[in-house]
Structure formats: C-alpha cells, structure tokens
Amino acid sequence: MKFADLRVRAERWIADDPDPVTRDELRALLTHEDLGETDLEERFAGPLEFGTAGLRAVMGAGPNRMNRAVVARATWGLAHEISATVARADERVVVVGGDARKMSRELSDDVAAILAAAGLRVLLFSAPVPTPLVGFAVKRLGAAAGVVITASHNPPEYNGYKVYWEDAAPIAPPVDTRVSAAIGRAPAARDIERPSLSALRQAHRVVDASPEIETEYLEAVRSLAVHPNGGDRRLSIVYTPLHGVGGALARRAFEAARFTSFLSVAEQDKPDGTFPTVAFPNPEEPGTLDRALALAVTVGADLVLANDPDADRLAVAVSRTGGARDAVSRRVGGRDASLRANDIETPEAAARTRSYLQLTGNQVGVLLGHYLLTERPASSRPRAVVTSIVSSPLLGRIALDMGVRHEQTLTGFKWIAKRAIELEHEGYEFVFGYEEALGYCVGSVVYDKDGISAALIVAEMAAVLRARGRSLCDVLDEIARHWGVSVSAQVSITREGARGRGAIGAMMDGLRARPPSEVAGDAVVGMADYEAGVHVDFRTGARSALALPSSNVVSLELASGSRIIARPSGTEPKAKFYFDVCGSVGPADTVAEASARAEVAMRHLADAFVGPLA
C-alpha cells in the first residue's frame, strides 16, 4: 500500500470515527515522518472479519482493530439482519453484556443503544458478567439474539464481539455470512444513530437485567448435578477467576452445592482488565496458575480450579499426597517446579504437602464425559456426546463401547452447540460436549462452553470419588487400562499481522499440496482436507467425501494410529498443530510406563513435523 493512499484512508477514518480517543490516536500516528515505521499499514490491512462467533482483535483505531467505530457498524449490520430474519424480533429482546476488559462497558452501552435505535428491545447487563450467563439469558428469555463484549482469554490489549443467535448458540454459517454482508452495507460510524441510554431506558427500549437471571442460572447449573450433595463435600478447593468476571457466580454456585472449603486466590479475585498478576490470562499458558498452585500447596488443597477471564473455560489441577522426605513437584503447562524436602519445616506442613498435576483439556473432557455417562442414569432417549475434530478420540471410544452416539464437529464451540441442538431435535439426549482448549458443555443449560457449570461438576466428581476412596487420577488410570493410553499435545506458531496471515496461509497450502510421506519414521497413510471436503487413503488412492462443512483444516493419519491436525486459529495470529498418540497398557505395564512411551512418541512427532515449519 502506498503511504499517500494510506494517509488518505486514515484521514477518512478520522472523519468518520465517533470516538475522540481513537481519532487522536490516528492523528498522532500521522505526524510520523516515515509512516512505514508505524503500524498504520497493519491497522488498515482490511476490515475485521467474523471468525469464531464474531470479532476479536487488539484495541485501537482503524478497520483492523477493535474500537467504537467497528462495533457501531457491526451492530448496525447485526440489527438489520435480526430485524429481517428473526420472527417477531421487535417483540423479543436482544441480550447485551460484557466482561471487565478495557472498553467493554463503553462498547456494551454502544451496542445496546444502536440496537434499540434500530427498533429492537434490549436487555442490558449493566455490570460485567460471565459469557455463559449471557448465553443462558438468551435461551431462558427466548431472545432474538445476544451480544457479549469479550476477548475471553486473550491478552489485555484485546477485546471482542461475540454473537448468540435466536437458538441461543454462538452465531454460525450461514447467519454469520449474512451479518457480514449487512455490515458491509452499514453507513459511516458517525452516521449511525446512538441515543442516550437514559432516554432509551425511559422509553423502555433498554431494560436492565434483573438479578433473578443470575439466580435462575445458578438453579439451572445446580440441576446438572449427578449426585446432588453426594460425596465428601469437605473437599478442599482453591479457585481463581484470573482477574475475570467468574468469581462471584462461582462462589455462589459452590456455596449452594454445600462445598465447605472453597478458597479463592485473593489477589486475582476481583475483575481487573489489566490482569496484573499474569502475563497472559489463558489458563492453558505456562505459569498462569502458579499463584493458585502456590496457595494450594500452602493450604493443602485437594483440587485447583481456574476459569478464564470471561468464565467460559475451565482449567483443573489435582493433588497427589507426598511424604516429608519426597521432592514435591507441581506440573504447570509442561514445566516442573519443585519444593525440596529440606524446605518442609514441620511434620504438620509435611502432612499436607501436595504435588499438583495440571490436567489437559482432553483429560478433563474424558473424565467429565465418562462420569456423566457412567454415573447418571440413562433416560428413555438415546444419548449423545459431541467433540471437536482436534479433541482426543478417547471419549469416542468410550461412547462406542457404551452404545452412546459420538459425533465430531469442526473446531469452535459454535459447531458443537449447533450439532447438540440438532441432535436434541432428532430425539437424542445431549449429555456432554467438549473441545480440548478447556471448553466444556454439560447438558443444555447453555448452548456453549461454560466454565462455571463444568467446575461444579468436576468438584462433585472429585467429592464422590473421594468418598469412595478414589481420585480423579485413579479414574484416568482405569480408563487407560480399559480403553488405552491417549496423549495429546498442541504446538502453535505465531505470525503477527497481515504478512503473518499470509505466511500461515502458505503453510496450509504447502501441507495440502505436498503432504509428508512420513513423520519421525511413521508413514503418513491418509489425509483429510476439510477445505476441499475430501479424504484420501494414500495406500489405496481411494477418495471419499467428508461430511463436515468446508474449513481450513488438514488432518494426517499415520500408520501407527497417531494423528496430526493443522489449522489456523480463528481468534489469534497462530497456526495450530495438534498431535494425538494412542497406545495400549500391557499386562506387565504400569499406566505411567505406557503413557511415558506415548509421550516420547508424541514429542518426536511434534519436533519432526513443526521443526521445519518454524
């Protein structure tokens, strides 16, 4: 892009921008003598596109950033699509909420005002709320749609715009395509009507959400219990919302479920969009749970639970008792930190010392699915579980053995929710859905991932097992002995900016055009290209159609039964690679030995495959 043209586009944006802050931000950039030394080219690389259920980007001025102008045009397009296609849209409400990030309040208010000005009725959460609560409200109230201003687990400089449709599921094709087209027809942001909220409240076009919605949500979450009040509820739990908005609701949920030892990490308990104690508020990232784990060691907790900042994801760490003379370690995102035996000062401290294992998303998903299928009595309807294609195949093997329908979807919870709703319409009981990135949906209270309800069921499962003299780790071992060891890993390559998107696209194109014949000595025997909708068996040359919608995903099948999946992230500037290795536990093996062999094989696969790309 020539810099003269770039300057013209920036000045046009300034003229159309209703926000003085971002106008001044662009003016300051335009004072640079060399615009090539600024990030203007990246800011104007193109408009944000609807990705995983909406928009998400770094905050700032320009069409490729999150700001009031982008949100105004997105909301204008959304309002027109709702009015045009949703039955009785003007009689129903659109639910609007946001998290505690920078600008979430201002953007939520803008969304409410623009929707109301377009003739829709709005139910507005006037304080920061968890994303699952908005999804619940859309379903509970039969709303026409819902909007949440959130960037979920992204770094502090991000914000986002998530949309639920009238079915209470995250927006998915073809609706997202129609909304995108409507956004393209939107006027300049300065010309979009945005009345004051006080006037809209007086006209009853905007109504503040009642506290009863939170109470109804908590009652619905409580109804998911398999063993209400069962198990040893004295289980000691350390919890952190990671400076997010889940803390208050989570605490109420655990109090109602009569867990008597629920301790939150004090310095991370209150919402704070700057996330001062974590470098990256994603509970999958190394080090993010360090404070929770340190507190767990101090108090001798049995279980560590963490929600991400908008409380739709859940991380779990479990304890294993150690002795006074043992080195005590905790595993945090692939790193081991240890307390030496000499650090233990008293027998009392030694007695409560724990080591903590942070479970992967696949381990938590398999544990939850197995618990729900084995402990909850079957209904008169056939049961179904749903996972994404990048999640471990292990839950599918368990479901098959139990006569339960298992289906896979594309990555992104919008696909799991969409299929769950379809299965319910087909007469199935939707029991559970999950994706490996710490997202879990228990039942149909919320047609989306919900970190609060998942946390409560994990705690219930641990309490029930404890009363039986067992642990979550015991169940993982039993599953491995019965259905085999399954280990998984994800490796990401980050490429920032427009050039980065091009590089990631080139990686995917190269993999399709020139798939490897082997990886780490393991022959590649098949490839599924989800963009082309074709599966190819390299041994026979046979080609078959894939049932899922087109998506930029490539899956390689290896002779050993292992699997490699590649895809670009829908919310971050990353190429993501997923590795799954399965193995059996022999009669003379321990599960640890079988798992160690699979872990070694997985590391070899990952190093051999990703090394040349990085």
- The residues annotated as belonging to the active site are 152
Closest by CA to 439, choosing from 463, 411, 464, is: 411
Angle, to 10 degrees, between the axis of helix 212-222 and the axis of helix 451-467? 40
Strands 261-264 and 328-332: unpaired
Using DSSP's 3-state secondary structure scheme, residue 59 falls into strand
Using DSSP's 3-state secondary structure scheme, residue 252 falls into helix
User: How far apart, in whole angstroms, are the C-alpha atoms of residue 510 and residue 450?
Assistant: 36
Residue 563 pairs in a beta bridge with 557, 580
User: How far apart, in whole angstroms, are the C-alpha atoms of residue 23 and residue 512?
Assistant: 43
Instruction: Classify 293 in phi/psi space as left (phi over 0), alpha (psi -120 to 50) or beta.
Output: alpha
What is the H or E stretch that residue 145 is in?
A: strand 145-149
DSSP symbol at 274: T
What is the H or E stretch that residue 94 is in?
A: strand 93-98
CB 318 within 8 A of CB 303: yes
User: How far apart, in whole angstroms, are the C-alpha atoms of residue 336 and residue 329?
Assistant: 6
CB atoms within 10 A of CB 371: 23
Long-range Cβ pairs for the range 105-111 (8 Å, 24+): 106/68, 107/66, 107/68, 107/71, 107/149, 107/159, 107/161, 108/147, 108/149, 109/197, 110/68, 110/71, 110/72, 110/75, 110/194, 111/71, 111/75, 111/147, 111/149, 111/161
Q: Going by C-beta distance under 8 Å and a sequence separation of 6 or more, which residues neighbour residue 411?
A: 388, 389, 390, 435, 551, 553, 567, 570
Using DSSP's 3-state secondary structure scheme, residue 480 falls into helix
